[in-house]
Amino acid sequence: DSAAPERHDVTPVIGLEIHVQLLTETKIFCGCPNRFNPDEPNTQTCPVCLGFPGALPVMNRTAIEWTVKLGLALGCEIAPRAVFARKNYFYPDLPKGYQISQFEIPVVQGGSIPIVSPTRGEIVVRLTRAHLEEDAGKSLHEDFHGMTGIDLNRAGTPLLEIVTEPDLRSSDEAVAYAKALHGIVRWIGICDGNMQEGSFRCDANVSVRRPGEPLGTRCEIKNLNSFRFMQEAIEFELRRQVALIEDGGKVVQETRL
Ligand code: ADP
Ligand code: MG
Ligand code: ZN
Whole-number Å distance between alpha carbons of 18 and 224? 9
Residue 60 and residue 31 in contact, taking contact as beta carbons nearer than 8 Å: no
Crossing angle for the helix pair 171-187 and 227-246, nearest 10 degrees?
150
Residue 32 and residue 49 in contact, taking contact as beta carbons nearer than 8 Å: yes
Nearest CA to ligand 1 atom 14: 15
Q: Phi, psi (5° rounding) for residue 86?
A: -90, 125
Reduced DSSP (H G I as helix, E B as strand, rest coil) percent helix, strand, coil of the chain, to 5: 20, 30, 45
Q: What is the mean pLDDT of the chain?
A: 94
Confidence of residue 7 (pLDDT cuts 50, 70, 90): low
Atom of ligand 1 nearest to the CA of 167: 16
Atom of ligand 1 nearest to the CA of 163: 14
Confidence of residue 145 (pLDDT cuts 50, 70, 90): confident
Whole-number Å distance between alpha carbons of 189 and 103? 26
Instruction: Give residue-wise pLDDT tens across range 199-229.
Output: 999 999 999 998 889 999 999 999 999 999 9
User: Helix, strand or coil for residue 78?
Assistant: strand
Whole-number Å distance between alpha carbons of 243 and 40? 46
Crossing angle for the helix pair 61-73 and 171-187, nearest 10 degrees?
130
Distance of CA 100 from the midpoint of ligand 2 (Å): 15
Whole-number Å distance between alpha carbons of 60 and 234? 35
Nearest by Cα to 13 from 152, 205, 240: 205
Which residues lie with the beta carbon below 6 Å from any ligand 1 atom?
Answer: 13-17, 163-166, 205-207, 215-216, 218
Query: 254-256 and 219-224: which strand pairing?
Result: parallel
The amino acid sitting at 59 is: M
Whole-number Å distance between alpha carbons of 249 and 172? 27
CA angle, residues 237, 93, 156, in degrees to nearest 5: 105
Instruction: Provide mean pLDDT across the span 71-88.
Output: 97
Nearest by Cα to 20 from 150, 161, 173: 161
Which stretches of 102-224 are assigned E, i.e. beta strand? Answer: 108-109, 112-117, 121-134, 138-140, 149-151, 158-164, 200-209, 219-224
Ion ligand 3 nearby residues (CB, 5 A): 30, 32, 46, 48-49
pLDDT of residue 2: 45
Entry pTM:
0.94
Whole-number Å distance between alpha carbons of 142 and 92? 15
Neighbours of 164 (CB within 10 A): 23
Residue 201 and residue 154 in contact, taking contact as beta carbons nearer than 8 Å: no
Instruction: Provide mean pLDDT across the span 116-123.
Output: 97
Give yes or no for residue 1 having a pLDDT over 70: no
